[in-house]
Chain A
Amino acid sequence: MIESKRLFMKPGRDNKEERENFVKFWANYINSVGDVVWSKQQNVIINSQMHNSREFYRCLNKTEEGRKTLKRLKEQMLKVGKN
């Protein structure tokens, strides 16, 4: 792990500025540490989405009712494609 000087973020005056300040802060953080350090943190967010998505469909597949819902979803999706 690359050691770096601790960075601090300027609070925003409203939600928009707060979000933008965080985006800038995070980008500067990425530039100040090695790829291993930031990617490990980013992966917590991304991998949890992938996990949740898989679990959602896996759980639905477990029951007859869930399988019917999945079938319905698929049919709806194909219908949207046709329209």
Chain B
Amino acid sequence: MELKGNKIYALEKIPSELDVFVLKFLRILEKYTEYVIISGYVSILLGRSRITEDVDLFIKPLNKQVFSEFYKELIKNDFWCLNAENEDELYSYLDDHLAIRFAAEGTYAPNFEIKYPKDELDEETFSNYLIVVLKIGEIKISSLERQIAFKRYYLTGDKDTEDALHIEELFKNHIDYSKVNKYKELIKLKREVIKE
């Protein structure tokens, strides 16, 4: 695995069934909107030896017509939504900044949790992402510094702290800790806003 500019090359990585499943979903999603994968799957994609039930993504807001086309294509390709079957209802969930989940038809996990960014800090994910290049396709993930900061200072569970540690160890000489600290401060502010 090699980090060069905003790309991480993992061309020799043998894709897991999860990678193949993720790319199947992304190939549909990216026809309709932009996305960035956040949270657990990022560290797994970067080699962490653990499993996950869901793949979390931020997507850029869609209008109703585009969402309808996106939804129909997912259904045609054997996905189903775990939250509702009615398109209007699903669209309103997203609009209310709630996450909706899609899984392969007949299963519940793993699933894709998609949501719109809620604030400026979330939106910043789209201007500061990395591309992981696999031999079967490319996957956009949030920046290493953002991953570390959110895992360490926002999510804070054992699993999350270990994900952060994995990324720090793996990319030891590439992490910009001034950026991590900046995120840490912004997360602190975000927490205060949520409390109010």
Contacts and interface: CB of A to CB of B under 8 A. Distances in A.
A50 B162 contact: no
Interface string A10-35: 00000010011001101110110011
A24 B110 contact: no
Q: Is the interface of A mostly helix, strand, loop or mixed?
A: helix
Contact of B16 (A42, A78, A81): A42
B16 A82 contact: no
A5 to B, nearest CB: 17
A45 B50 contact: yes
Number of contact residues on A: which range applies? 35 or more
A53 B165 contact: no
A70 to B, nearest CB: 8
A22 to B, nearest CB: 8
A78 B12 contact: no
A49 B108 CA distance: 13
Interface of B: 1, 10-18, 21, 44, 47-51, 81-85, 89, 93, 100, 106-110, 158, 162, 165-166, 169-170
Given A23-B162, A39-B16, 12 more contacts: A23-B48, A24-B165, A27-B165, A35-B10, A39-B12, A46-B44, A46-B51, A50-B110, A57-B106, A57-B108, A80-B83, A82-B84
Interface of A: 16, 19-20, 23-24, 26-28, 30-31, 34-36, 38-43, 45-47, 49-51, 53-54, 57-58, 61, 70, 73, 77-78, 80-82
